[in-house]
A and B are shown apart, each in its own frame.
Chain A
Amino acid sequence: MSRSKMDKDEQKHRKSSLLSRISSRLPVRYLVKRIVERFLLIFAVVNFLFFLFWIFTLYIAHLNPAELYIPLDYKNANRASEIAGLDRQFGFDKPLYVQYVDYVKSMLTFHFGYSLIYDESITKLIITHLPIDLLILVPSLILSTLLAIFLGLFSALRYGKLSDVVNSNAAIITYFIPAFWVFTIVLDYLGFTLGIFPTNIVGALTASNGEPLKGFAYVAGLLKFSALPIILLTLLSYGVRMILTKASAVEVMNSHFITYLRARGVPESRVVFRHVMRNSIIPALTRMGVDFAFIITGSVFVEEIFNFQGIGYLLLDAAESLNIPVLGATFFIINVYIVIVLFLLDLVYPFIDPRVKYD
């Protein structure tokens, strides 16, 4: 047998073992069951949203968004007929069960229709409101996890020493710092007083001559704008993951296999970075996955302070103007996203931690 053929055989062997490993970790039966469950969950979400934003507002609180939408002093035409027209357009005049069926259908097929206020498709509205949020939230999530792992391991390696106590308590305290408070103060100082960071996105993306920035300058402006929120969010959100990492690292370092590794002469750096680290980051990574699912949770505050209009603004604005279709659709999309991410997390988990097995 030639060398290359052996390599090929080896590869084939590896591939098939990978496949078989995947199927042994994630049995098809389990997958099917989970998918059905998740689908039921999403269906429940649709019903919940229908109740909350449709039945509650229209039939319990007796609010008609169309009434809100057309100003009381609307002069051009007969206001009542205009409202009736809107009611027809959004189906508020049909019998309730028809509204329900329409609602469920529109949600599950992702045909959300048009916003009550902006003459734009809701899907497009949501998509245009997402990028800046994600530009800030995703990097800070990753950075804060890295910071948490680093500081958690640092503390675990110095367990009980002063540096550990300071480090751990600092991490706990960051958890209780009202983010909007620190953001405001820091933005005021670094942004308004010192002028190091842009204080709003329009300013950041506009050249000094008033022209909107293009190309590289646009990207640079965007980065400059998002730098401060990313840094601040990172510093205020690593705490929980740091404590998780530290707790599990301390536990891992006291476990016997670490002693046994040392006894075998495995170099200390390898013990720490290959064995302690990989064992102790699992909780932090899990937490990061969950946080990734709920990533937009804090966006309202970030947007409010850093002056840009993202998904939080879309929600708040829709709430204030009782833009029911937008509210329902946005929550639905967020929820579907959460369900999918959590589901993926379940799928990835057995590969991060081989002890996890589904059956």
Chain B
Amino acid sequence: MSTIVFIDTRGKKIPKAATEAVTYAHQLSGGPVTAVTFGDATGLEALGAYGAGKVVVARGVNTVDGQQLTKLVVDVASDQDAKNVVCMHDATGRSVAPRVAARLKAGHVAGAIALPEGDLIKRNVFSGKARSWVKVSSPVRVISLMPNSIAPEQGERTATVEEYSGDLGEPRIALKEVRKAGEGIPLPEAEIVVSAGRGMKGPENWGPIEELARLLGAATACSRPVADMHWRPHHEHVGQTGIAIRPNCYIAIGISGAIQHLAGVNQSKVIAVINKDPEAPFFKAADYGIVGDAFEVLPKLIEAAKKLNAEH
């Protein structure tokens, strides 16, 4: 079945979520797929390793305009007579996939977490408290893939790279400025997350949280009240009304584990909880637990992480 995959490769290197999306498209089609992208990234041939036979790139287009990108995707889809259009479920994917679906009158599975079983595709619903199986009845399917849902699979091939020659028109949305975040790892893509809650007592106590995260190569996150009190930036807020993440490892420190918090993190592969209250609800959702005072436990974790880094 003809399958194309739309990825955002702006920036210096191809993001991991893009390699996941190409892998997904490749496994879905059972053969080489056409990857569609834009901007000036070099080294796109390398997408062949994940299953792209061909990469169509709109050079010089560094747009944030979903309408231009929709035209790009729809043009390649019709050129290839695509039956599946795979996207990433990131900011770019969210501005393009629904538009492509509406244009093609295609059923859209947003936030797929696995390859289809028969004609059913699995996704999270109720903020991670349940899953649903979606069946698409239109001739074309649009599937947006959640990050960390499939392991990127690398082979030996390289892809041919072709420049898109159509006209995408003028952008209606202009990018005025990008304010770079600090050093850290972006939370939605992080494989390890160190998260802290109101149990940390105040923003001045985040030093050891950041140090532990740095040592583990982790992103930092927080509970809602912590962001509401401006102890930490809003983009760190995870949960039902913040962002939902699914890292391999989520370490929660001084967070009670309210149902709305769990909703955003219960897809994590392994959860470790540090809380001084043995009755904290978070322990029921955890794989590893420590009942203890964060201020005594953190130095021990930092010491152990330093030791681990020294050994490996």
Q: Do A and B come from one complex?
A: no
Interface set of A (CB-CB < 8 Å, partner B): none
